[in-house]
Amino acid sequence: MTSDEALDRLVAAARSARPGGVRVREWSVHVAESRRASIGTQDAHTGGPHSPLGIAEALSARWHLVWEDGRVVSSDLDRTAIEEGLGEAIERARAAAREDPDAAQVAPPARMPDVSLLDSAAARMAAGDLAPLAGRLRAIRDRLASHGFRTWSGSFHATHTTARIVTSSGLDASSESTLAGWHATFDGELGNGHVARAQDGDAEFEVRLDRLADLAARLRLPAPPGGARSRLAVLHPAVVRSLVFGTLLHNLDGAAVAHGESRFPAKAFGSRMPVFPEGLSLRVEPLEPLKAGSYRFTLEGVPAAPTTFVDRGRLVTPVLGLKYARRLGGRPTGIPVASDALRLSGPPAIALEEALESAPGGTLVLAVLGVHTQDRASGDFSLSAPQALAIAGGSARGRLRVTMSGNVFEVLADDALRLVRFPGEDVPGLRIRCAVENR
Amino acid sequence: MIERLEALDGLGAEIAARAARAGVLAVWRTQLRSVRRVVVRAGRTEESTSAVFSGHGVQVRTAEGRMALASRDGLDPLPALRLLDRAADATRSGESLGVASSADADLPVVVARSVPSGLEAFEETEAPAVAARLAEIEREVAAAAPGVRLRLTWVSDLDAWRVLRSDGTDVLYAMPRAVLRAAATTDGDGSRHSIGASVAGPDPRLAWNERLAGLFLRRAVAAARLARELPDALVHPAGCPPLVIDYTLAKGLAHEAFGHAAEADGFRSSVLARDGRYRTGERVGADRVSIVDEPIPGDHAWQPYGPNGLVRERAAIVDRGALADALADPWSAAASGVAARGSERAESYRSAPLPRMSNIRIEVADPLPAPGSFEDYGAAELRDLLSAAGVFRRHAAVSWLSGYTGGQVNTATGDFVFHCKAIRRITRDGDVLHRPAIFSGSMFGALAAIREAFGPLALDAIGTCGKWGQNVPSSGGSHFFLVLDPDPSFRLGGS
């Protein structure tokens, strides 16, 4: 069964459904078919039993049905359910239907943006040709030996996906995309990598790997006496992604806003009252070629579009799909599916060297433990950073173990805030002021 | 659902024949999983979704020790059989990638079946009835603790596996799970805090179960009251105070700190291993303290067999203060110098099984009594326990960390963190609520600092473990409360 055949079956089932005499008034069907290849390394053992060379095929489908009495239901269906006939799935969909007027809609026809999402080399890898990875695996093993690391773990993967959405209102759109990425961690301490619609180039890969190895090596150096002596900390982009973007996106989520689970009430969006410092902006740019965060349309069939969530300190819109756009009286927005599509701007931007010069006695925070345990609604954070470097004399070297605490929103409002350009990173680092305690 | 797996009976012989022709050992995993979810907010059903997954994954090991895993969704035997050929082909490309040989494993042949009764309830429980029941409970919580926004969630998850190996192993098992969760968020224009509560069981009708529904109500009301109080709470000063942790945080300490470090796939970098081998026999805690991982029937993380077809066994990771059993699978056991105990788990047929925990607990010999149920204990009742045990003769004040909200560990360094819902600083004379702060430090220091334990074992602290991107249910606990004397190796965050 091809994905188009699967889609035809689902559409036919939706059109002909009549459980208990009730018809489907509107429907939306999304089908995706993918191939994926991957190989992992665990404790320096590449392709071992816990991270074997893997090849996978998958077909997935989701339908959203609006019954003629206005009740709605959404279900994920697998190949088996589709192949064996959808009668039972229809009966279940009817039994599970709920009253939810804001969800009783499907996407209308729309012109989907042209955005480059497909890379032929990544597609070949996804089909199982992993030979191009041999040189990269060798390069990692070389760094392991040359820096004297004990072990490394990591993975390489590539996925090739075709997707199509059809709705009862006449929308019929498709997309073909790839995703390729890698990640490596030395000595179980510090990791980094890259993910996009295409692999990073060989030269870019080598440089990124060298930066990672250099930072991991610096962690082995002793810290200066006294440890951290300043409340200034420079957050690596990896920390910004998880802590700062994670907090902001939780509070910008349309469902969280609508249900009072966000720091921001619905009335704050569109208001002239700034909730962040003047100048701070956050937007998503999902149309840039070959970025992981780029896409053509959402699972609901909403076209990708650049969207500004925060404009010069003022809240513009939450992140909205169809349901919460209707609930909150807005329009569906672009979705931040990966951090390389997010743009944080406004605070003065400085180079990493300048950031280190400006924070003597401070801490370069490379990784934190416990971000997922924080209370996103309050913005309060209290984190452990066992992978941190002491800043002295304009450079970062010597391991610190610190705990950091504060509040993300207060950090973003502080006049010490700077965007910090880290070479090779899509996301900026941040220089912030917060409580830093030596452990 | 189980019948679908039973219908694959003929597949085992076919797999064995094909694997023999290809000269490989094959481990065939078939999974059928049905997950449903209902979310109610302010009396309205905001979400009612269902998802069905099924598929095959075949992991092969060649005579040279190379491995590959091929997977495909669907249950058709024919395309599934082709997976074996694809996996065998894939192993050949491993040489150019520098794939190392995997050690041979001792794989006992097991033919068994473990399917709990009552699975028909997963078919019979209708989402609209669940939604109506959640709305009832929500009204009760809101009446008892007004001033918060509530979100109530029901999840049912029936996860069934059949594992066939080309050596004759054939294991079929089903893991029924259901969870009720509440999230309470402070209402109004001030600062907002979200607090969660949950109960779990193997029956999707748990919202109608008098005991579990009553327990859920008590926990949800407590969460709602805490969410209301936290905006006015103080920030706890950073430092190393004497601590009391409840059993949910003790589960976090056991899981994040010792459990992950005892997983044998990471022994080249784990602090509990040296030169790739478990440090069996070395002392890491007091004689009275043990850490045990064990599947418990009816538990959220119960698993009777591992996805390589071995029986899942009890593992005493720390036995009366000394390292004893690691969490090892057949592929990692020999190299780690430990026994394979079927300790592996996989999220899906697409995933390679990894050594993982099931239900993990900290046990202390001769705990002090704490009568009643855990939910009976507020700050005043806990103060009475501590006072009677003489804790206030050692410490003028203790900081009580309540409610585990998650954690993380670096197994290479032994650094752990975990977070709580709230902190109460308790003295002989009273208590003061503080906002949560990170508890972090050295796992060895924390375990060695345990002094008193109060109450029986409570093992229903649930969570989700996300090792290597594979999410599997976790659970565990300890005695109601553990007292940790101050030690410079761990600290409480704050400012």
- pLDDT in the model for residue B494: 56
Question: Which residues on B lie below 8 Å from A43 (Cβ)?
Answer: 265-269, 276
Percent of chain A with pLDDT over 90: 88
Q: Are residues A273 and A412 in the same domain?
A: yes
What is residue A12's predicted lDDT score, i.e. its pLDDT?
A: 96
CB-CB under 8 Å, B54 with A80? yes
DSSP character string of B220-275: HHHHHHHHHHGGGPBPPPPB---EEEEHHHHHHIIIIIIIHHTBGGGTTT-TTEET
* Whether A160 and A260 share a structural domain: no
Same domain assignment for residues A225 and A342: yes
| Predicted confidence (pLDDT) per residue in A88-111, tens digit | 899 999 999 999 999 999 999 999
Total number of domains constituting chain A: 2
Calpha distance A88→B197 (Å, rounded): 34
Of A231, A344, A332, A233, which is closest to residue A285 (Cα–Cα)?
A344
Which CATH number applies to B2-232? 3.30.2290.10
Q: What average pLDDT does the segment B88-98 reach?
A: 84
Task: Give the pLDDT confidence of B242-301 residue by residue, as tens digits.
Answer: 999 999 999 999 998 899 999 999 998 899 999 999 999 999 999 999 999 999 999 999
Checking if the pLDDT of B190 tops 80, the result is no
A57 inside 8 A of chain B by CB: yes
Q: What is the average per-residue pLDDT within B297-325?
A: 97
Contacts of A46 in chain B (CB under 8 A): 97-100
Task: Choose one of A212, A240, A263: the last residue of a domain.
Answer: A212
Examine the domain organization and report whether A120 and A88 are in the same domain: yes
Residue A293 confidence (pLDDT) above 60: yes
Same domain, A227 and A207: no
CA quadruple A55, B104, A185, A138: dihedral sign = negative
* DSSP tag of B95: G
Best B410, B470, B471 residue to mutate vs chain A (most A CBs within 10 Å) = B410
| Residue pLDDT, tens place only, A207-246 | 999 999 999 999 999 988 888 888 999 999 999 999 999 9
Token pair in block for residue A62? 């989701």
Q: Which residues of chain A have a CB within 8 Å of the CB of B96?
A: 131, 134
**Per-residue DSSP letters for B482-495?**
EEE---TTEEE---
A310 shares a domain with A284: yes
Percent share of chain B, pLDDT over 90: 80
Give the model's pLDDT for residue A365: 97
Closest Cβ opposite residue B440 in set A73, A83, A403: A403
The mean per-residue pLDDT over the stretch B22-45 comes to 95
Give pLDDT, residue B333: 94
pLDDT digits (tens, 9 = 90+) for B465-490: 999 899 999 999 999 999 999 999 99
Pairwise CB contact (< 8 Å): B67 & A48: yes
| A193 and A326 housed in the same domain | no
Burial (CB count within 10 angstroms: exposed 0-12, middle 13-18, buried 19+), residue B164: buried
Residues of B in contact with A42 (CB under 8 A): 265-266
Question: Which residues on A lie below 8 Å from B59 (Cβ)?
Answer: 49, 52
Q: Domain holding A65: CATH number?
A: 3.30.2290.10
Lowest mean pLDDT among A276-290, A383-397, B82-96: B82-96
Do A167 and A231 sit in the same domain of this protein? no
Nearest to B413 among A260, A265, A386 (CB): A386
Question: Can you say whether the dihedral through the CA atoms of B67, B71, B76, B78 is positive or negative?
Answer: negative
How many Å lie between the alpha carbon of B456 and the closest alpha carbon of chain A? 27
Domain that holds residue A124: 3-212
- State what percent of residues in chain A have pLDDT above 70: 100
Which of A169, A185, A212 is where one domain is finished?
A: A212
Question: In the predicted model, what is the mean pLDDT of residues B230-234?
Answer: 92
Q: How far apart are CA B437 and CA B400, in angstroms?
A: 11
Whether A437 has a pLDDT exceeding 90, the answer reads: no
Chain A, residues 78-107, CB within 8 A of chain B, namely 78-81, 83, 92, 95-100
Query: Is residue A236 located within the same domain as residue A153?
Result: no
B54 sits in which H/E element: strand B44-62
Token pair for residue B296? Answer: 């418990």
Residue A376: per-residue pLDDT: 87
Distance in angstroms (rounded) separating the CA atoms of residues A62 and A57: 17
pLDDT tens figures, A147-183: 999 999 999 999 999 999 999 999 999 999 999 999 9
Statement: residue B101 has pLDDT above 90:
no
The verdict on A180 and A280 lying in the same domain is no
- Supply the pLDDT for residue A207: 96
- Mean pLDDT within A37-55: 94
Q: Chain A residues with CB inside 8 Å of B408's CB?
A: 369-370, 372-373
Domain limit, last residue, from A212, A240, A260: A212
